[in-house]
Structure 1
Amino acid sequence: MIRYRFFEIWRFLAALLIMLYHFSHFAPPETQWVKDDLERLRPLLDLFFIISGFLIFTRYEREVKDVATYLTYLGKRLARLYPLHLFTLAYFVLVGLAVQVGWSNTGGNPDLFDWSALPTQLLLVHAWGFEDRLSFNFVSWSLSAEWFAYLMLPVILIAYRRAGLGGLGLLVLLSFAFLEALVASGVTPFRRWIDIDSWGAYRVFADFALGAFISVLAARSRLRIVSTLYPWIAVMATCVSMLIGMTVYVNIALIALAIFLAAVTEKNRPAVCAYPLFLRPAAIVSFGVYLWHPVVESLMFSLIWSRYLEGHSSGIFFGYVAVSMLITIIIAMLSFRFLENPVAGYFLSRLGGSRKNDRVPQG
């Protein structure tokens, strides 16, 4: 079984850049350019989603055959997503309650604590168009959107099983056309689909369909690429394209090319993509880094930095950022080992799965 170590590394690096972007909102005025430059890397979120679509399709294309296997697959995915979502949501609910009763006036923007949105948060449907703005753990919109894409996997499977690669290609085109129509209609509060978050389910489904398309292309490819240089050139070209402001479809095409080259390279020569084993505990927790960093931000920046340290030099700020990022990575590693895996294992055992032999896929 191919491990796709490239994807582990890229998702981890993307999670770090997203975390740096959010922390940089607290930067001194003279370094606001950092936030502005990182803002241009927004399509890296789509790297996350396209890779997820690739991995989910690769893992479950043959396994999901009927209602029973579909429900088993959904149970595994929910076991992966929901425990940490619920835990971080509970944290922000407690912060919101503390703000509401006057025990605290920090910990995040007061607009985050939209109590009317709590039901959709609990049901994991808050990025399906039911809400017009983000609330509580603001990055959890992507979990809601991925959950939608997981539920819609049969649409992708039917397109492939009925019409092959051409069916997947058509589904990709229709999905992005729907996004364009959704934005043009004025139904959403967004002018570009690349900015969609509270309606992000439809953006992520398009990315998932593209990931499935790339998965089939890579599996069928006869290219003899064995050097890691080509995938890295492609991903660097993607970042440059974003920074210089190329159109979103150029960026998406470059992301797709990078993922394709990485998959083909690792298929041809898995060992060449290996990285030191001691780095793996950090590299595999990109999901945790992504979901935990708003919690760290609320404590380290909205509370401590804004109250006690704001106004210090840029050097002190970025040193503080580095410490905060390291704290986030450590929390994510501990969470993966002591919270997410045990809870997921318990959940799967209740469904009749084996924790030893049925590891929760990272997807």
Structure 2
Amino acid sequence: MRDQIDALTSLRGIAAILVVLYHYTGSFLPNLSVSQHTSFIVKGYLWVDLFFLLSGFVIMHAYGQQFRSRVDWPSFRTFLFGRIARLYPLHLTILVAFVLLELLRATLTQSGVDDLQREAFEGGKNLPALVEHLLMIQAAGLQDGLTWNGPAWSIGAEWLAYLFFPVLASFLFGKGWRAHVVICLVGILGLAVIADNPRGLNLTYDYGAFRCLFQFCIGAVLYQVFRRGSMRWLHHDMAFVVIASITTGLMHIGANDLLLPPVFALLILSLSGNKHRIASLLTVAPLRMMGVISYSIYMSHMLVLEAIQLGSHVITGHGFGHWLDAPTSVLALMVLIAAILLISVGLYRYIELPMRHALRGSRFARLYVYAPTAA
């Protein structure tokens, strides 16, 4: 596996925090009234599209060479096991925490506590949905809404993209630029088709898998553009500033969702080859660390939100943000983001990293994954 591109790692961390802001400034902190001033936060669901493009780019960068000449079972199972070791330990940990939170809700209800919004194991917290999360098929359109850890729908969508990746990588390495253009056009057309609805690209449990796959493929093509040294003019600081400004402006005015993925693509290409001041700014230790723990940030923030909401209903009978005015809500938001960062550092150090290493170094992996004769 190749080395990371640090600027893209930091970009992933920034996007994760922006997703947190999107989820925390809605009904959770209703008195902020952010949407009255800008659509930048309201359009925060689009940062997940940046994740999908980044994922295609980074996975192609890290694993594409394995499938350059052909796709065989040993390389395929090694790749998939590596992705399971990367995603599943934290996914399972957070899922268990959600189950414990529902058990706490049930205990409180039996103790006579009222005003908990809903009964335990209702509202998407049911057994069939739990099984779907365990199998990472929660973006396959089997439910009528988001379930359990809502943001994890994108992890299920990416898992489906990983199943397709080896064939995609082999195809891209064997074809010229015309095939790459065709893939991008098909991806953009596919996005246009699924976005033809009142929610735009804000598709999750229903068409989220397609939303991911189209952009994952485009991201893989972006890596081929980067690898061949094309469009180097994008690597200059001024190019990044212009693209970032366009991104911010489009989000601020609430532009059509379909305008953002192409701009995100340019943003990724610009950062991937930047060796100047922008790269230096984005690779400072705090930003890079935020990127390293971005998966933990993304996966844990809804658990924190739901735990706080439950506690608030127990204590006050209302949601957490009910009593907070705008200035206090801003302060609460800052404290919560700091808390999520600390929690995410802990999750990364004590769950993500050790469990990933343990799985990859396990006896099972040696016998059934990495062994040349593994069945």
- TM class by shorter chain equals 0.7 to 0.9
Q: Which aligned pairs between 1:146-165 and structure 2 lie closer than 5 A?
A: 146-165=158-177
Matched residue type, 1:312: L
Distance 1:270 1:314 in 2: 33
* Alignment of 1:295 onto 2:300: no
Distance 2:84 2:255 in 1: 36
Do the aligned partners of 1:179 and 1:193 also contact (CA within 8 Å) in 2?
A: no
Distance 1:56 1:297 in 2: 30
Q: CA distance change for structure 1 residues 157 and 98 in 2, over 3 Å: closer, same or farther?
A: same
Matched residue type, 2:54: I
- Residue of structure 1 equivalent to 2:57: 54
Q: Which aligned pairs between 1:1-363 and structure 2 lie closer than 5 A?
A: 3-25=4-26, 26-29=28-31, 31-33=33-35, 37-64=40-67, 65=70, 66-100=72-106, 102-103=109-110, 106=116, 110-181=122-193, 191-192=198-199, 194-198=201-205, 199-221=207-229, 223=232, 227-266=236-275, 272=280, 275-277=283-285, 279-304=287-312, 307-308=315-316, 310-350=322-362, 351-352=365-366
Distance 1:171 1:299 in 2: 42
Do the aligned partners of 1:89 and 1:136 also contact (CA within 8 Å) in 2?
A: yes
Specify the SS of the correspondent of 2:65. coil
1:215 is displaced (CA, Å) by: 0.8
Specify the SS of the correspondent of 2:274. helix
Matched residue type, 1:136: W
Distance 1:226 1:251 in 2: 19
Do the aligned partners of 1:230 and 1:261 also contact (CA within 8 Å) in 2?
A: yes
- Residue of structure 2 equivalent to 1:361: none
- Residue of structure 2 equivalent to 1:357: none
Distance 2:116 2:38 in 1: 22
Distance 2:235 2:184 in 1: 28
Q: TM-score, normalising length from structure 1?
A: 0.85
Structure 1 alignment gaps of length 5 or more: 185-189, 354-363
- Residue of structure 1 equivalent to 2:372: none
1:252 is displaced (CA, Å) by: 1.4
Q: CA distance change for structure 1 residues 305 and 324 in 2, over 3 Å: closer, same or farther?
A: farther
- Aligned residues: CA RMSD: 2.8
1:222-271 CA distances to partner (integer Å, 9 max, x unpaired)? 526654342243123112112223333321111111111111224x8997
Aligned residue-pair number: 347
1:57 is displaced (CA, Å) by: 0.8
Q: How many percent of aligned residue pairs carry the same amino acid?
A: 24
Matched residue type, 1:83: P
Q: CA distance change for structure 1 residues 97 and 306 in 2, over 3 Å: closer, same or farther?
A: closer
Structure 2 alignment gaps of length 5 or more: 368-375
1:50-98 CA distances to partner (integer Å, 9 max, x unpaired)? 0111000111111134221111111111111111111111111222233
Q: CA distance change for structure 1 residues 225 and 203 in 2, over 3 Å: closer, same or farther?
A: closer
Q: CA distance change for structure 1 residues 115 and 292 in 2, over 3 Å: closer, same or farther?
A: same
Distance 1:249 1:87 in 2: 34
1:180 is displaced (CA, Å) by: 4.3
Distance 1:269 1:3 in 2: 18
Matched residue type, 2:51: F
1:330 is displaced (CA, Å) by: 0.7
Do the aligned partners of 2:192 and 2:258 also contact (CA within 8 Å) in 1?
A: no
Matched residue type, 1:131: Q
Do the aligned partners of 2:40 and 2:253 also contact (CA within 8 Å) in 1?
A: no
1:36 is displaced (CA, Å) by: 5.5
Do the aligned partners of 1:226 and 1:269 also contact (CA within 8 Å) in 2?
A: no
Do the aligned partners of 1:23 and 1:301 also contact (CA within 8 Å) in 2?
A: no
1:14-55 CA distances to partner (integer Å, 9 max, x unpaired)? 111111121112224462537964122332211111011100
Distance 1:226 1:16 in 2: 25
Q: CA distance change for structure 1 residues 244 and 278 in 2, over 3 Å: closer, same or farther?
A: closer
1:6 is displaced (CA, Å) by: 2.0
Do the aligned partners of 1:227 and 1:265 also contact (CA within 8 Å) in 2?
A: yes
Specify the SS of the correspondent of 1:287. helix
1:113 is displaced (CA, Å) by: 1.3
